[in-house]
Structure formats: structure tokens, C-alpha cells
Chains A and B, each alone.
Chain A
Amino acid sequence: MVSKESEQFLTELRFYLMSKGKNDDEINEITEELEVHLMEAEADGKDVSYIIGDSPKQYMKSIGESMSTDYRQMAGLVPLMILLLGAYVSIGPAIEGNFSLSKGTLWIAITAGVIAVGGYGVLIFRVLPKFLHSKWSAVLLLGAGVAVTGLMVMLLLWNQKQGFEPVFTATPFQNNVIVAVCAVIFIVSAIYTKTWFTVIIPLCISVGPIANRFIPQDVNEDPTYILYTVIAFVIIAAVMIFVFMAKRKKMLNNGGK
């Protein structure tokens, strides 16, 4: 086992190389080789900065430059992203039991999908690697998350107001099938990208609809419960931000710039 700092570095390296479109097998090879090195070096009493130098960012860059970019693998990510986006949008209504499609919704979904894939691609491959080691990466990720969620909600609200004629309304059985298909997409994406966020985000998205489906209406509209929920969410968010910042600070103190 390597130390937390080394593990953090290896995770960041993996993420950096993935964002640069490097081949998965090569990423595994180099991270495993570095893990062996870090393990033996730490056993000899050396720390991570002794191995990667003063600037982890520079070191990651030098490794990235020695590896070729795998365009075929990158092309595979696009359909995966489209499936993921579709699953993100569909799982909520399907859990609530009222998944339906109209021509208007389809057009919006296609347009939003294209814009989202483009934006996501630019963020992951161009913008994020530049900010990976600065405090801006957290702000950028959080900001992008909030902006995307906000846009989605606005789009959904606008969509509902349009009163499009549904061309397909799912039966209860079909709704359950859609939920299952979405779950499969999330799990496959998590395995493919070797990250947890494709499972964690849908879990967060699903909490609302699950509560909506199973909590009785009178509890759902009780202002006291709403207040409790808001307070609970604020506390959870505050704790998560605090833990995240503390972890980041600790990592930066251990060799980062």
C-alpha cells in the first residue's frame, strides 16, 4: 500500500492522462509502475516529492508528453457521453413513474445533448487540465455543475410549460425498464471511465424522485419537513466542502504548488 499523498497523486495522474485522451492500457501500465516505485521508495523512507519533484503538474505533463493520444478511444467516449446524458435526464421522470416523450422534448434533448457534449469535451480536454493543480479546479467543477443543473431545470420547466403533445408515454412496467437501463448505463460508464462520479451523480439526482414516489403527499408538502430537509442539505454541503478543502490543502502541503 502507498501513502494517501501518493495515492492522491496517482489518482490525479490517471485523471490528467484520461483528460488528455491517452490509451487506457498505457495509463494503467504507467500508474502501476509508478505505484510500485512509490511503494518501494516509501518503504525506504522517501516521500512523494522526492520521486516526482517539486511540481507534480510539470511531472504529469512530462509523462503525458511521452504517451501517444488514443483518438479511437476518445471517439468511443462521445456515444458514451450521449447515453449518459440521456440517462441523466430520463432517470428522474422514470422513477417518478411518468416518463414520456414528445417531438418538442426530443428536439430539445438533441440540441441540448450536442451542446452539452461539446461543452463537456472542451471542459474536460482543454480547460480542466490547465487548472488541475490550482484552487480554481474546485471552483470550476462546482460552477460548471451548478450551471448545468440550473440550465437543465430551466429547460425542463420551459419544456413543461410548452405543453407538447407526448408521442410516447411509458407504462409502469416500461418506466421500471427505463430505470434499469439507466442504472446499467451508469454502472458501465463507471467501469469504463474508472470513476465513481457516474454512479454518485445519478444517486443524488434520484433522491428527489424516489422521495416523491414513496413519501406520502401530506408529508411532502409539510413546511416543517421542507425546512428540515433544507437545513440537512446545507449541513451536508458545508461538511463536504470543508472535507474537500481540508484534503486539498493537505495534498498541496505535500509537494503540490
Chain B
Amino acid sequence: MSETTQMLKGILDGCLLAIIKEGEIYGYELAAKLESYGFRSLSEGTIYPLLLRMQKEGLISATLRKSTAGPKRKYYTLTEKGERELKLFIGRWEQVSSSVDNVLNKRGI
């Protein structure tokens, strides 16, 4: 599990940005979506330190909203800087993923 988490470092940031781009979302929902996309080995809390950092870097912004469940929920949205970062991530990921595919399929460069 920890090896998977280690491998995902950096990739998760991009995935979170992509999910937040779909629309305003709060932590628990975000964790559930990640799980539904197949990230089952991750502990749900893993996202919070990342969200904190991305908020500090100005990639996402947060607003507190009342909920019916109890305390206020913190909803995240993508900023313009976040959108640019997401585009860069998609470019980088496509390159990395095709290179890894090439290596694993022994096709060479």
C-alpha cells in the first residue's frame, strides 16, 4: 500500500485538480470520487495535506458552506492558476504514461 502511495506522489495532485475541475466539491466527496475511479488502496485522509498545499499555492480556493449533516463543509473550486497547472499536468502525464508503456511493452524509443 505504501509503495503505491509513494508511486502516486505528484500524480495525485493532478488527479485532484481534474476532479475539482468537474465542479465544486468537498473533502469527503472528493475522497469517495477518487475511490470510485479506482484509487482504493489510498487512505482517505491522504488528500487533506495535498489540498492544503494546493490551496496555499493558489491552485484551488475554498469556501465554507453549511450542511444538513452538521458542521460546515469546505468546498473547493479550481482557480485560473489551477486550470493552467492541470493542463501542464495532462501534458506531462501523457508523455510519462506513453514512455512507461513503451518500456513495459519493450518497444524501445
Contacts and interface: CB of A to CB of B under 8 A. Distances in A.
B28 A35 contact: no
A52 B52 contact: no
Interface of B: 1, 26-28, 31, 43-46, 48-50, 52-53, 56, 67, 69-74
A184 interface: no
29 contacts: A29-B74, A30-B48, A32-B71, A32-B74, A33-B27, A34-B45, A36-B26, A36-B70, A36-B71, A37-B27, A37-B48, A39-B70, A39-B71, A40-B69, A41-B44, A43-B69, A50-B43, A52-B43, A54-B1, A59-B43, A62-B46, A62-B49, A63-B52, A65-B49, A66-B49, A66-B52, A66-B53, A66-B56, A67-B52
B44 A51 contact: yes
Nearest to B54: A66
Chain A interface size band reads 20 to 34
A24 to B, nearest CB: 15
Interface string A84-115: 00000000000000000000000000000000
Contacts, number: 64
A30 B53 CA distance: 12
A59 B45 contact: yes
A30 B55 CA distance: 12
A53 interface: yes
A36 B28 contact: yes
B28 A41 contact: yes
B103 to A, nearest CB: 30
